[in-house]
Amino acid sequence: MNNQYPIRVLQIVGIVCGGGVEAVIMNYYRNINRDKVQFDFVIDGKEKSLLDDEIKRMGGRVYHVTPYKDNIIKYMCDIYHIIKKNKYDIIHDNMNTMSLFSLFPAWLAGAKIRIIHNHSTNEKAMEERCKYYLKKILRPFSPLFANQYVACSKYAAEWMYGKRAIQLDKVKIINNAVDIEKFRFSVTARKKLREELGVKEEVNVIGHIGRLVPQKNHMFLLDVFASYFKQNPASVLVMIGDGPLRENLEHKAKELKISDKVYFKGLRSDVNEWYSAMDVFLLPSLYEGLPVVGIEAQANGVPVCLSSNITKEVVINENVRYLPLVKEEWVKSINDLIRKRARKTLLEENGFSIQNEAKKMECWYGSMVKEV
């Protein structure tokens, strides 16, 4: 039992590239009482990440380890030595199906509390066949060295741990909560960003935020916009995020003859403001755990179209459509929803206020440490 504050938690994450998992962890870190709970981070890769400076400002330490894709044994050894040297109260692993390779060294190093936190699913990812089968093989083994099971949604919990674990109440759901005030609709932000785009108020801005990777299904997104644009020429598509598919997507936009109407904005530090510039937000993912961008969009009130591959647990506001990946249905829903911004959002009542949820996490960490 540790009677001293702060409780030291080691967060193990993958490559930091502006994605949803690190956004969730950092939301909790910014809002948790750091006099009582302090995070350090293991980050996959030797290069400095986007978050290093902020983590250090908040009192955390950052350990860059050998990428597991380069040398899985060296990756495990690096984690073992970090944990053995620092004697953490809690290891909180966020590597999904790769958790076996980080929690095994944590167990060897004698860590008493070992959390596996699943942020994803992969049921519909046949477009990424190698990744799909690798996850399927690793999934049963991922929780072996954990003694606390966590997921971002019931859907993600069932995918990783099975229905039995949920029925036996072995899985804790930690919501992908956000700072609701930060994402509220802003007339000022809308005007500023539309001026940056060079579009007038009467132009419909279709928006998307996410890494440019196969999971996010951007090829389908471009097809949807191309069809919508034929019906509504006063419209543009804005895509926030970067990734390995950018060049392919730019080429696809040229093929569809919409390249002058599609804005690839890359990584942005003002993501929260972009929701205000949009008139509808699209997320046609092939799979997700519980997408934080879907929660952020609803905090803003912008209408949302979601893929039916995503858990319905993300649907909170009334101006959200849950759709199969059929182009015509997406075009129709965009026409139905465009500019129908929610005047009242329901996030706080549904457990998505980061201030409230960070307090719950702090209490949960404290209760586990007391029981050791």
Distance CA 274, CA 51 (A): 21
Q: What does the pLDDT read at residue 124?
A: 52
d(CA 115, CA 365): 10
The two tokens of residue 147 are: 């003694």
Amino acid 123: pLDDT: 55
What domains can be seen in the chain, in order of their start residue? 7-177+353-371 (3.40.50.2000), 181-350 (3.40.50.2000)
pLDDT score at 2:
57
40 Cβ contact list (under 8 Å, min separation 6): 8, 9, 10, 11, 60, 61, 62, 63, 86, 88
Per-10-residue mean pLDDT of the chain, 372 residues long, equals: 82 83 94 98 91 96 96 98 97 95 98 96 60 79 95 94 94 96 97 98 98 95 99 98 96 98 95 98 94 96 96 94 98 96 89 96 97 88
Reference 142, options 163, 161, 120, 167; nearest CA is 161
Residues 6+ apart with CB under 8 A from 134: 97
- Residues 347 and 345: their CA atoms lie apart, in Å, by 6
**Alpha carbon distance 328, 289 (integer Å):** 26
The pair of structure tokens assigned to 34 is 């750091």
So what's the pLDDT on residue 361?
A: 98
- Strand blocks (E) in 136-229: 148-151, 171-173, 204-209
Per-residue confidence (pLDDT) for residue 120, from 0 to 100: 84
